[in-house]
Homo-oligomer: A and B are copies of this chain.
Amino acid sequence: MTLPTTLSAPLAHTPVLDHGFLELWNMLGADQTIAASARVSLSRELASLTDHTDKQAERDRGLINRLMRDRHTSPFESVVFQWRVRAPIFVARQWFRHRFSSFNEESGRYVELQDEFYVPDQLRVRVGKAMDYQYVDMEAEQNAQFRARIEALYHDARTLYEGMLAAGVAREHARIVLPVAQYTTFIWTVNALSLMNFLHLRNSPHAQAEIRAYAEVMEAVFAERLPWTHAAFREHWGAGAV
């Protein structure tokens, strides 16, 4: 049996935030897979897979656009992305709400977590009223002071964590003192439809900036890998289409 070659080197790797990254680990299919899946519904010849002419490409691109416009979403489930992600726990918590996908996460019960925590470069301050506020950057000196206090707290939490491990405390017990800024790693296996739903919600001004940083990188990779689908996504999704 041949080992899938894409596994030994990720298809894409991009640093995100201060200690995180997003990595395309593996992938099933391409724009043509989506077109071919849709043509199964139409019982037509699956020329998408064997006809590599510009004319066929034009037909496939048009078909994908119409599928998106008319909400025929199931063909978009025929392409699967597999990502390896390193992100703070508070970001992972938002991510894991996306249920139609699969997760394999580093376990604080079984391993000692690495000494990596997220410290924002620039704290955001809310200005304005409860239902109509905005975020602006904190003034530089105060920002530096708070960053120092955050780092000191993380250091104390880490010291206590390591102290408990050294005293033999079960890892699952010791880790409860670590902050939600602690980094964690997970594999995310997700089809293109579920991924577009993620991008729609998370690469958005309503999302927290930290998860949006991941969603932006992800959307760039998505656009590179499924250019026709991405174009249709940006034309129709959220514009009443899906």
Interface residues of A (CB under 8 A from B): 1, 3-4, 7-8, 26-30, 32-33, 36-38, 40-44, 49-50, 52, 70-71, 74-75, 77-78, 80, 82, 84, 88-90, 93, 96-97, 99-100, 102-114, 118, 120, 123-127, 135, 138, 142, 146, 149-150, 153-154, 156-157, 160, 163-164, 167-173, 175-182, 185-187, 189, 191, 201, 206, 208, 225, 227, 238-240
Contact = CB atoms under 8 A, between A and B. Distances in A.
Contacts of A70: 206
> What's the dominant secondary structure at chain A's contact region?
mixed
A69 B101 CA distance: 23
**Which of A36, A157, A170, A240 counts the most chain B CB atoms within 10 A?**
A170
A7 B29 CA distance: 8
A168 to B, nearest CB: 4
A102 B34 CA distance: 12
A121 to B, nearest CB: 11
A77 B50 contact: no
B111 A43 contact: yes
Contacts of A7: 29-30, 32-33, 36, 49
28 contacts: A1-B30, A4-B33, A7-B30, A7-B32, A8-B50, A26-B29, A28-B80, A41-B106, A42-B107, A71-B201, A74-B104, A78-B187, A78-B189, A80-B80, A80-B189, A89-B93, A93-B93, A102-B191, A109-B208, A125-B168, A125-B169, A126-B169, A149-B160, A150-B176, A153-B177, A176-B179, A179-B179, A240-B240
A176 B180 contact: yes
A167 to B, nearest CB: 7
- Of all A-B residue pairs in the complex, the 5 with the closest CB atoms, nearest first, are A77-B102, A28-B28, A99-B99, A176-B181, A7-B49
B28 A173 contact: no
